[in-house]
Amino acid sequence: MINTIKLPFFLLSTFFLVACSNQSDQQENAGEVKPVVDPALVAEVYEAADKRIFDKALLGRAIDGDFPYALVLFSLSGTEACTTIRPYLSSTDDAILEAAVTGAGRCGSPHAFEALLAIANDVPKKPSIRIAALKAVGFASDEDDRSQMAASVNALMQAVNEDSGVELAAAAVYGLMQNITYAGLSPSALPELDIQAIMDAAMRDDRLGFEAAYLLMRMQGLRAALDFDDVAAAIEGSTQPEKTYALLRVAGQFGNAASDLLRRYGSVTSIEGDLSTEMFNGAEANSVAAGAIIAMSGLNDGASLTHLFQLLNENNPAIKQLALSVMARRSDADEGVAQRMWHFARGDNPWLAVTAASGLVGFGDPNALYLAEEWLESGSFYQAFQAVGLLSRNPEGRDLLQNYVVTSDDPVRTQLVMATLDPNGVEPRAARETATYADALASTVKRLKLETTRGDIIIEMIEETPYAAHNFITLAAEGKLDGMVWHRVLPGFVAQAGQRDDVGQFAVPTIREEWGAELHAPGTVGVATSGPDTGTTQFFINLMHNRHLDDRYSVFGRVVSGPYGALQEGDIITRATVTP
């Protein structure tokens, strides 16, 4: 019966999925007795939220029943829900206010911006509430609000010596990053922001330092606003691999001036006194090297191009793949680069072959199109899938795809081609029927065992996102993850699976977003989507802390064992099983 549902730990310990309370808050509240919440009420709210059915009366009952987290759960349910949430931003109850702040941010409505910013700047408010508001304004704002956000960042950056100042400033920087992350802004587009103060903060080896470096990585045009020596000093003083990765990406904006620095960090062996190996170990060194190699795409000096050629002799396929992809994007790519591309395009490693073919297509080599056509006709499913993308990049290739639709009798590959040629012609998928909350919650205590051609990967589910967890547990139990290909592996970013040589994959119903507290840290598993509430079979494992994905994509699991960092494109999930 519903009434016997055991509340998950996160609801028993806190009603907020935003883990932002500082230590003083925890000590202050250590003696508080948590209210008892009716499990049936929790289940009713979760099920309604998953169905995207907003019930104002149900929200009221949840608030009265000491379950203010309903404000967060309903925040994705549409305009009426968002309009109803906004008045709670004036609540004098801290629990209700913090949930309302988070919910208003999730709604992404700029109509809540002024109220959220006022809460963020209200010094008497609890730091945890202000932190939640500082993060939320990044989603509930538009370009006209950026000057006010910048002013808030500037003010909080000047107060980092206060007890809670570091976390407040970090939250403000995070909010601004989320606001501009897909805009590609340069400092000139945001003159109110003290960009040098952000650079100075990036020198710090703490949370604020990471947030500042990540914000800089999401900006353009930094060469005109910052001194390269400051960037280099921040890199060489960093002990955080993820911050180092971000700053190396920033260094790439300085062109050939960064060549020596990037070459020193840009390998996992000692080609040129590599620093990533000296300062970091294992996966950390790989991720740092990835940042340096990616940053070399904007260079055009002979030394860094030679370095990239040397990287093609590395034993690590991910480093080779990065070197190939970066060489293809450089302005100084020449006949020697093309020759090396062809060496790998016809090689034994499918991932490197596809990467090289992509570069050759970019060079305008017609023979690369014919190679892709070969893959589409008779290659592995992975090669055929990638061939569709390669051929769609120019008119001649699209003509080849059109002809394939007419002549092929392969239903899966034909469907992939048709969807690529005309995305608007794809029939919308039905939404997966909402399971009972009891069933969804039961899935969160189970694990996925992915038997892959690279080794076994064990994933535990996350209870804050029960319906996403239930979806993938169900797919595994039904055998719909078996044979799935890792079709997108981007070193320094994600390893993504979800394509399968089965026409049934096109009919798998969709699931809806669940944005919980879990961050997109290395080893966490997220739902891949192509728009709001469009998750199906595709998922990705984060190889880095992808901060710009936080509060945008659902995280439903975390890897507890297995070589996820060694995955290559073309690897296969031979079998997926569910374990207790």
pLDDT tens-digit map of 529-548: 999 999 999 999 999 999 99
- In a domain? residue 269: no
Q: 419 phi and psi, to 5 degrees?
A: -65, -30
Mean pLDDT of 380-406: 97
Q: For residue range 314-343, what is the model confidence (pLDDT) as tens digits?
A: 899 999 999 999 999 999 999 999 999 999
Residue 34 has pLDDT above 90, yes or no: no
* C-alpha 298 chain-centroid distance: 23
Contact between 262 and 272 (Cβ < 8 Å): no
For residue 73, CA distances in Å to 174, 374, 440, 500, 557 come to 22, 48, 15, 32, 19
Mean pLDDT of 440-461: 98
Say how far apart CA 532 and CA 535 lie, in whole Å: 8
Verify that 442 and 563 share a domain, yes or no.
yes
* Reduced DSSP (H G I as helix, E B as strand, rest coil) percent helix, strand, coil of the chain, to 5: 55, 10, 35
Predicted pLDDT at 516: 74
Q: For residue range 111-126, what is the model confidence (pLDDT) as tens digits?
A: 899 999 999 999 999 9
Verify that 522 and 472 share a domain, yes or no.
yes
- Contacts (Cβ under 8 Å, ≥6 apart) of 406: none
Q: Which of 136, 167, 188 is the last residue of a domain?
A: 136
Predicted pLDDT at 534: 95
**H helices present in 332-483, as ranges:** 335-345, 350-363, 366-378, 381-391, 395-407, 411-421, 437-443, 466-477
At 359, list the tokens. Answer: 């570069």
Read off the DSSP letter of residue 481. Answer: T
- In a domain? residue 300: no
Q: Is 372 exposed, middle or buried (0-12, 13-18, 19+ CB in 10 A)?
A: buried
Verify that 409 and 458 share a domain, yes or no.
no
Give 333 or 17, the one with higher predicted confidence: 333
Q: Which of 375, 397, 426 is the last residue of a domain?
A: 426
Read off the CATH number of the domain in which 534 is found. Answer: 2.40.100.10
For residue 42, the SS3 value is: helix
Beta bridge partners of 577: 449
Verify that 445 and 574 share a domain, yes or no.
yes
Predicted pLDDT at 269: 65
In the block, tokens 């309604």 appear at 48
What is the enclosing helix (H) or strand (E) of 115? Answer: helix 113-120
Verify that 522 and 494 share a domain, yes or no.
yes
Q: For residue range 342-363, what is the model confidence (pLDDT) as tens digits?
A: 999 999 999 999 999 999 999 9
Mean pLDDT of 71-81: 96
- In a domain? residue 385: yes
- In a domain? residue 286: no
Q: Which amino acid is at 23?
A: Q
State the residue range of the domain holding 371.
334-426
Tell me what percent of the residues of the chain surpass a pLDDT of 70.
92
Verify that 542 and 467 share a domain, yes or no.
yes
- Contacts (Cβ under 8 Å, ≥6 apart) of 391: 369, 372, 373, 376, 397, 398, 400, 401
* Per-residue pLDDT band at 26 (split at 50, 70, 90): very low
Contact between 89 and 133 (Cβ < 8 Å): no
Of 561, 558, 552, 515, nearest to 540 by C-alpha is: 558
Verify that 354 and 450 share a domain, yes or no.
no
Mean pLDDT of 277-287: 76
At 424, list the tokens. Answer: 């608007």
For residue 367, CA distances in Å to 51, 236, 328 come to 50, 44, 16
Count of domains for the chain: 3
Predicted pLDDT at 504: 94
Q: 484 phi and psi, to 5 degrees?
A: -70, 140
Lowest mean pLDDT, pick from 272-286, 291-305, 432-446, 525-539 = 272-286
For residue 433, the SS3 value is: coil
Residue 189 has pLDDT above 50, yes or no: yes
Predicted pLDDT at 379: 86
Contact between 564 and 478 (Cβ < 8 Å): no
Q: Which amino acid is at 454?
A: R
- In a domain? residue 516: yes
Predicted pLDDT at 288: 93
Beta bridge partners of 431: 510
Verify that 7 and 45 share a domain, yes or no.
yes
Predicted pLDDT at 19: 35
- In a domain? residue 115: yes
Verify that 408 and 449 share a domain, yes or no.
no
Residue 3 has pLDDT above 50, yes or no: no
Verify that 467 and 406 share a domain, yes or no.
no
Average pLDDT for the chain: 92
Tell me what percent of the residues of the chain surpass a pLDDT of 90.
86
Predicted pLDDT at 275: 59
- In a domain? residue 225: no
Verify that 420 and 444 share a domain, yes or no.
no
**H helices present in 238-316, as ranges:** 241-251, 259-265, 275-279, 283-295, 302-311
Mean pLDDT of 206-210: 95
Lowest mean pLDDT, pick from 110-119, 203-212, 514-523, 547-556 = 514-523
Verify that 447 and 546 share a domain, yes or no.
yes
Q: Which of 426, 455, 483 is the last residue of a domain?
A: 426
- In a domain? residue 297: no
Question: Taking the CB of residue 416, how many other CB atoms lie within 10 A of it?
Answer: 23
Residue 11 has pLDDT above 80, yes or no: no
What is the enclosing helix (H) or strand (E) of 118? Answer: helix 113-120
Question: Taking the CB of residue 12, how many other CB atoms lie within 10 A of it?
Answer: 12
**H helices present in 124-240, as ranges:** 127-136, 146-157, 165-180, 195-201, 207-217, 228-236
E strand segments, 425-543: 447-452, 455-461, 484-490, 494-499, 524-527, 539-542
